Structure 1
């Protein structure tokens, strides 16, 4: 595929970053890039605020609805519905415009959503429909944030360091997932949900500042694709012509939609099954995040070259089995402990899948492919949220985790069989 070269910078996408020594330096080698350091520092603060808001929003919905799992499922569905509608077009936008500037606008908008919900809550004016509306607006910003942010990673670190950067992003994400809900659980108990939303709104300033401080000349940019109609169709055609990529994307959809409805499922389990308060819910999220952080750290250490497809499918199968087993734990403590290996398995699968997709596509269509990736990764959440709420309402709080785990296991086995039949053996590496 040939692309015009009317936009270039001092660095090109083919340049490799210097390879550091082994050990701890290898795990954090992407941080040698100045721009990525700014980005990662801002993400630590902003993502902590995001996880605080997620925990507070789930708890606020349960309080306003009288503990209804179905109402919580609606909130989740509204927040992720825009992903289904807009993420593909966001991928086109990511390929066409400056990703750093796009992220500044999007992150600022997400921060304003937190401030608005916080002001309503602190003022005693919040109603359930307002939470639904702001969840929908936040979802619109998030629909553009995800593909732009995902495809921007390679511009900060270059292709050689992309697997490591993806793993470090997962570490940051899951460090925030540990700290955010735990802090939110305490704050909700002490001062209520409103201040938590305000803190999240303010935390967005950290990532915006990091983006503003970057040096655009140090980015690993590729040439801009040609303008004109049909660019979305071109990206979809690119993916459909690569069956291995299609199978990975379908697996990502199944893992996310049926297996990763953690926040709303855990809120119901904590409140309705084990009769715990907001702090107990936060501790369940933290237990899962201990596992996902461990999985991300392992991925960062082994990241060197293209990830193995066996890791993608094996991680998904392990995640499905472990989630189904965790759903049957008889006590709150045993349930929390069982979430640690669940977190390791899901992070192994999703980190490998993300790097597999990014490294196996042409840079000229990476934004559009990652738009499709994020649409599948996040866009199924409305379906998963509604299904999770319905299962918990009809059966009990354990049902969404059991059904989700078995669904992921089935999808992994089916996907592996498809690749085995096509290739007469599952390929060791993507690409």
Structure 2
């Protein structure tokens, strides 16, 4: 399945590159300001900001294949519509941006499900090579596609470029129609969208290593996006060229990107993720400043190759870091949040550098972008990027659920869990440190109102308390333990007296609720108790 998807995505990537050349050059001819040209990049990036998180939530809780099919049909329809409008001679800057936005919507919906599905196509140990293989394919298209796009636009016009892009979606659609992945069946119903979104945001907000990855990504993306977003203006104003020159520059950027993807495995073996991102920040600075100060096509092309390498190495390794730092139950949402950050940064950077170029000049804008690229390097000491060891985030089966003594409906709650620990005084300091780490993990996985208390009369007694909104949420929370979480729990249990560990599960009974286990009142029906039945 992975091989078929690779070839289909390669064809789609060629179409996307040709589409990008056509849209950017078309904008450069109908609205020649740098700001309007840069807005093409912004229009394609904004959907990732607005839609990625919801798409990631659905990718984790619904059928990923169906989501990908829908997204590709949407993008295909928008591409066909854009080609028709251009053929009719009715294109305006607003219409071009609107169709670009719709095509971006298809890509934004597709991306989280597609990237999360890599784990359905290959074992977890092969996720990093699979991500890099996709990067090689994408950047092979980036290296050749823009040159082809430039030739198509110069010879036949932008409308043909949009038609080619429309045909490029057919391979992905055919592969998705054939693919029937095996999905693990859950005994629990899928989370509603709002609950799933909240769970994803909560997970990342309580994961310091993911926060570091996202912040470094934003600081890296805003400067380097100046290169692709201002490339048409570089070709036109700094080099005095046309669509063919723009295609050559895009091709140089793509060659560098492909070289970066091919070298990634060797670089990952030789240095840590954090060291690699530090080096890439410096490389990006050199490349962007070089593009801005160059007056000669060969120098600009060399700088484009360096920028392409820095672009692909960084984004592919950000993607790998996020995937390998996220358990399977939330991978789609973590990738979506990463993409939201990355594409929001692209949209902001594209708009900002376009406005800067209009106000102060193109060379000055690129020079400032190059200096800004060092921002990610400056904060690396406080925001190190690390990747979880292989297997650390694999699911860890809990002990079988001890069934409650009475029927509990899925909507009953809140459910309060209270755990009593007896800790010797000599272990108390270490216990406090470990139990607070346990609390962070519990809150990250869905627990609320977590606290740890010490008995003032029996100081050896500690009580941990947390809540889940409903019994169903409590059951979901139990499924989210990973191997690394279990290791923290093992550290905790070594500090506790073995025969003094007691767990209580309580259901809050507000005024007017019927007591559990009491004889049913004639007026109490199953609908009054909950819609999903007992669990």
If the TM-score is normalised by the length of the shorter chain, which range does it land in? 0.7 to 0.9
TM-score, normalisation: structure 1: 0.84
CA shift in 2, pair 1:305/1:360, >3 Å: farther
Aligned to 1:94: 59
In the alignment, the residues of structure 1 paired with residue 283 and residue 78 of structure 2 have an alpha-carbon distance, to the nearest angstrom, of 37
Given candidates 11, 32, 44, the residue that maps to 1:45 is: 11
Aligned to 1:23: none
Is 1:358 matched with 2:323? yes
Given candidates 87, 110, 133, the residue that maps to 1:145 is: 110
Is 1:169 matched with 2:134? yes
Match runs of 1:311-350 below 5 Å: 311-350=276-315
Q: Is the 8 A contact 2:24 2:232 kept in 1?
A: yes
Is 1:73 matched with 2:38? yes
Aligned to 1:187: 152
Unaligned 5+ runs, structure 2: 390-535
Classify the secondary structure of the residue corresponding to 1:398.
helix
Given candidates 382, 386, 400, the residue that maps to 1:418 is: 382
Structure 1 range deviating more: 255-264 or 285-294: 255-264
CA shift in 2, pair 1:308/1:202, >3 Å: same
In the alignment, the residues of structure 2 paired with residue 403 and residue 222 of structure 1 have an alpha-carbon distance, to the nearest angstrom, of 52
Classify the secondary structure of the residue corresponding to 1:319.
helix
Is 1:155 matched with 2:120? yes
CA shift in 2, pair 1:304/1:255, >3 Å: same
CA shift in 2, pair 1:291/1:237, >3 Å: same
Give the C-alpha shift of residue 322 in structure 1: 2.9
Aligned to 1:10: none
Give the C-alpha shift of residue 327 in structure 1: 2.3
CA shift in 2, pair 1:406/1:225, >3 Å: farther
Aligned to 1:206: 171
In the alignment, the residues of structure 2 paired with residue 111 and residue 267 of structure 1 have an alpha-carbon distance, to the nearest angstrom, of 25
Classify the secondary structure of the residue corresponding to 2:240.
coil
CA shift in 2, pair 1:348/1:222, >3 Å: farther
Match runs of 1:398-417 below 5 Å: 398-414=363-379, 416-417=380-381
Q: Is the 8 A contact 1:38 1:214 kept in 2?
A: no
Given candidates 70, 85, 91, the residue that maps to 1:126 is: 91
Structure 1 range deviating more: 305-314 or 380-389: 305-314
Q: Which has the higher strand share?
A: 2
Q: Which has the higher helix share?
A: 1
Q: Is the 8 A contact 1:171 1:296 kept in 2?
A: yes
Match runs of 1:239-250 below 5 Å: 239-250=204-215
Give the C-alpha shift of residue 399 in structure 1: 3.3
Is 1:296 matched with 2:250? no
Give the C-alpha shift of residue 200 in structure 1: 0.4
In the alignment, the residues of structure 2 paired with residue 266 and residue 391 of structure 1 have an alpha-carbon distance, to the nearest angstrom, of 15
Instruction: State the superposition RMSD in angstroms.
Output: 2.3
Aligned to 2:485: none
Aligned to 2:457: none
Structure 1 range deviating more: 274-283 or 257-266: 257-266
Give the C-alpha shift of residue 110 in structure 1: 0.8
Quick one: higher RCO (CA 8 Å, sep 6+), 1 or 2? Answer: 1
Aligned to 2:334: 369
Is 1:107 matched with 2:107? no
CA shift in 2, pair 1:332/1:397, >3 Å: farther
Unaligned 5+ runs, structure 1: 1-34, 420-425
Give the C-alpha shift of residue 243 in structure 1: 1.7
Q: Is the 8 A contact 1:81 1:382 kept in 2?
A: yes
In the alignment, the residues of structure 1 paired with residue 264 and residue 191 of structure 2 have an alpha-carbon distance, to the nearest angstrom, of 37
Q: Is the 8 A contact 2:49 2:339 kept in 1?
A: no
Match runs of 1:10-89 below 5 Å: 35-65=1-31, 67-89=32-54
Aligned to 1:271: 236
In the alignment, the residues of structure 2 paired with residue 52 and residue 269 of structure 1 have an alpha-carbon distance, to the nearest angstrom, of 18
Give the C-alpha shift of residue 241 in structure 1: 1.6
Give the C-alpha shift of residue 163 in structure 1: 0.4
Match runs of 1:214-229 below 5 Å: 214-217=179-182, 226-228=190-192, 229=194
Q: Is the 8 A contact 1:235 1:368 kept in 2?
A: yes
